[in-house]
Amino acid sequence: MFVRDEPVTQGFYELVWDVTGDAADAHRLTEWWADALGGRAVQDAGFSHVADVVDLPFESIVFQPVPEEKTTKNRVHIDVTTADLEPLVAAGATVWRAKGDGGIGWTVMLDPAGNEFCAFTPD
């Protein structure tokens, strides 16, 4: 399911197919991100993924189950744009660092599993 029959190339590189993260509760986190991004949660044996997100520049966001909880800062994170942070907070995200804190132009948030993501809102 996550392997193309033929590689898609553009210039000298293959395109990004999926972005994958680890999660202690992959099904729950997939549901949350599907709701947050307006996509569809797909629960497969061993993996869960968010599909059908409008304008996503790759196929899906995959969460694979791991036995441990998150313990350190992510090296890669998702950036989103939103008109309002409140729906994200109401759905279970938390504000970790507010826009303007230290001069940053975005809000650093945590998803329900504690993964960092940045939310960009209009000025």
Q: Which CATH number fits domain 77-123: 3.30.720, 1.10.287, 3.40.50, 3.40.190?
A: 3.30.720
CB atoms within 10 A of CB 57: 8
CATH 3.30.720 in the chain, residue ranges = 77-123
The answer to whether 30 and 45 have CB atoms below 8 angstroms apart is: no
Report pLDDT digits (tens) over 19-50: 999 999 999 999 999 999 999 999 988 889 99
Class of domain 18-67: alpha beta
Question: CATH 3.10.180.10 spans which residues of the chain?
Answer: 18-67
Beta carbons of 1 and 44 less than 8 angstroms apart: yes
Report percent pLDDT > 70 for the chain.
89
Tell me how far apart the alpha carbons of residues 59 and 74 are, in angstroms, rounded to a whole number.
21
pLDDT along the chain (123 residues), means of 10: 55 76 95 97 91 92 94 92 96 98 97 96 89
Q: Rounded to whole angstroms, how far apart are CA atoms 78 and 19?
A: 10
